[in-house]
Each structure stands twice: as C-alpha cells, then as structure tokens.
Chains A and B, each alone.
Chain A
Amino acid sequence: MDAFVTFCLRMGDNALILGQRTAEWCGHAPVLEEDIAFANMGLDLIGQTQLWYGLAAEAEGKGRTPDDLAFLRPERQFLNSLLVEQPNTDFGHALMRQYLFDAWHLPMQEELAKSSHEGVRGLAQKTVKEVRYHLDRSRDLIVRLGDGSEESHKRMQDALDWLWPFTADLLATDEVDAQMADEGIAPVPALIAKAFDAETQATLARATLTIPETRLRRTGGRDGIHTEHMGYILAEMQSLQRTYPGARW
C-alpha cells in the first residue's frame, strides 16, 4: 500500500476506534455532564475519521468512500494503535486511555498543521482545536482523580499500569513514518515521542501516579495485528452494513 494511504488510515483508524469506544459510554457515564462531554469527544473523533478517510480514499483512487473504509474492512486491515481498542473496563480506564491518546495526538496535530501536504495541513488546522480541548479536559481529570481519594487514586494507577505498555504502539515507527517525515508530510516521530514523554511525565507526577517500570511493549496494531478486543468492536460497529449491505440513512 502507498505510504501516504497507510499514514492516513492509521490516523483515521485511531480516531474511529477511540470514537467508537468513547461512544460506548453514551448513557452510561457516571454523571450526566461527563456523559455529554464523552459523547462530544467521540463525535469529534468520528468527524476527524471522515476527514482522514477522505484523504486516504482520494489518494488510493479506487473509488472507496469513507463509509466503505469504516464498515467494510476486516480486522487485519485496520491500522489503529492497540491503545485505542482497549476495553472501557471502568471510567478510570476510559479517562486514562483518552489522556494517553491526547498526549500523543495534540503534538501530532500541531505538527501536522504545518504539513507540506495541503490536505493534511487543512485537516490538522481544523482539528487541532478540538484536540487541544480534549487534552485540556483529560489532563485535568487525570490530575484530579489521581491526586483525589484513595479509591480514585487506585483506579487511575490500575488503569495506567494496564494501558502504559500499549503506548509503545502509539509511538512505534517504521518506514512509512520515515517516508512521511522525509517528505515533510508528517513530523519526525522522535519529536512526537519527546513531547509525549514531557507531557505524561509532568502530568502523571502532578497526579501522584507512577509510570510503571515495565519493559513490556505491546505493538502490532499499526500493522493490523490487534488484541482480542478488536474483533468485538468491529462486529458491533459493522453489524448493520454486514447484515444489510449498502443500507443508507
């Protein structure tokens, strides 16, 4: 596959799968205000997915639509990081997953807003404002809950312990990233990794949470090798198009 198409699909798949996971909270969040905030964030991400898939489909030139990419690809063709497909478990896990993603997503979008590719630049200049708010909100909650009650601290630490090894997949790099950086389309991956480390170290320290000392690194999502949770997400998300192919609103 063309490197640019792969890059756009990775970005779009991250947004779609996290958006889908976030949408699962609709009607189930602990308080009404969080419920609406989570739904908003999920919708922001699904809107971003459409933009990325639009770029991918155009570059691919096979006449596929963003809907085809979302609803008709099998698991092995999804290139999202393993982090975003991790289950909701509890609200602490959902918030921590969101925070770790946002800590990577914001520096990424800020750099993409300077991309040499006009379509990518335009996309990022629009979405960076959404992502800035997402990080602002998730960071604030991580600090409040991490440095909150004994119960909230424990839940946030549990979530961090579980999710941290999956951040390796968010920061993983290959020849696609190298080519995107060479062409000035996307930033040099090391730059984003550095921003991610600075953000998470400062915030998690403020939250009195400890980054686990683990050498466990879970990767593969960006190449389509997913955890056992991914199939269930797609089964639910794609069921309508699989059952009634071509059904429209």
Chain B
Amino acid sequence: MSKEWPLWEVFIRGQHGLSHRHVGSLHAPDAEMAMKNARDVYTRRNEGVSIWVVESAKITASNPDEAGAMFEPSESKVYRHPTFFDIPKEVGAM
C-alpha cells in the first residue's frame, strides 16, 4: 500500500449531558471506517456513549506563530472574569 490513509480526529462523549472531548486520532480510508476504528481503539473500555470523527485536514487550527496577537492581549484582562461581582446571598452557590 503506497498511499497512507488520511488522519482523523476522534471525539467521545463520555456520558449523556457532557460535551464530546478530543481523545486522539487514527488513520482510516473514509468516515465509515474511521467510525469503526474509533469504536475499536477508543471505546473498548466503555469510555463513551457517542463518537464524532472528523478528518484532520478539515480542521482549521490557529497558527502558533500568531499566538502573540491571538492570545496575549487577553492575558492582562482579568476583569473579564466574572469574579468582581458581589453575589447576593439569596442567589446561593453558583
């Protein structure tokens, strides 16, 4: 086999009500096989109730070279965390 199968990213929902989480990647010739392989590789210890697979090439990722412009500006803006509000007692735990 001269051509590598494309890479797929696997996302698993661990329990109902939780979000899908990225758990890893695998190789498969198409979506159907990617789903089967994800089932066999990533849910064999009862890890999930739902699987998403997406071809890695279809993911648009942020560029590490642009990390400065992308992420550093928010580092100094602690006021964006909702920790400066006085929460009335009647509200209780949030």
Q: A residues bordering B, Cβ < 8 Å?
A: 30-33, 36-37, 40, 133, 136-137, 140, 144
Contacts and interface: CB of A to CB of B under 8 A. Distances in A.
Contacts of A36: 40-41, 44
Contacts of B44: 36, 40
Contacts of B13: none
A144 B28 CA distance: 13
7 tightest CB-CB pairs across the interface, nearest first?
A: A37-B40, A33-B37, A36-B41, A36-B40, A40-B40, A33-B26, A40-B44
Contacts of B27: 31-33
A31 B40 CA distance: 13
B44 to A, nearest CB: 5
Interface of B: 1, 5, 26-29, 32-33, 36-37, 39-41, 44
Nearest to B34: A33
Central interface residue in A30, A36, A136, by most chain B CB within 10 Å: A36
Given A37-B40, A140-B36, 18 more contacts: A30-B1, A31-B5, A31-B27, A32-B26, A32-B27, A33-B26, A33-B28, A33-B40, A33-B41, A36-B40, A37-B36, A37-B41, A40-B40, A40-B44, A133-B39, A137-B36, A140-B32, A144-B33
A40 B36 CA distance: 12
Nearest to B26: A33
Contacts of B26: 32-33
Contacts, number: 29
User: Could you tell me the dominant secondary structure of chain A's interface residues?
Assistant: helix
A174 B40 CA distance: 37
Nearest to B42: A36
A37 B1 CA distance: 20
Contacts of A33: 26-28, 37, 40-41
A163 to B, nearest CB: 23
Nearest to B4: A31
A188 to B, nearest CB: 33
Contacts of B29: 144
Contacts of B40: 33, 36-37, 40
A30 B5 CA distance: 12
Contacts of B39: 133
A37 B29 CA distance: 15
22 contacts: A31-B5, A31-B27, A32-B27, A32-B41, A33-B26, A33-B27, A33-B28, A33-B37, A33-B40, A36-B40, A36-B41, A36-B44, A37-B36, A37-B37, A37-B40, A40-B40, A40-B44, A136-B36, A140-B32, A140-B33, A140-B36, A144-B33
A40 B37 CA distance: 11
Contacts of B36: 37, 136-137, 140
Contacts of B41: 32-33, 36-37
Nearest to A149: B1
A41 to B, nearest CB: 8
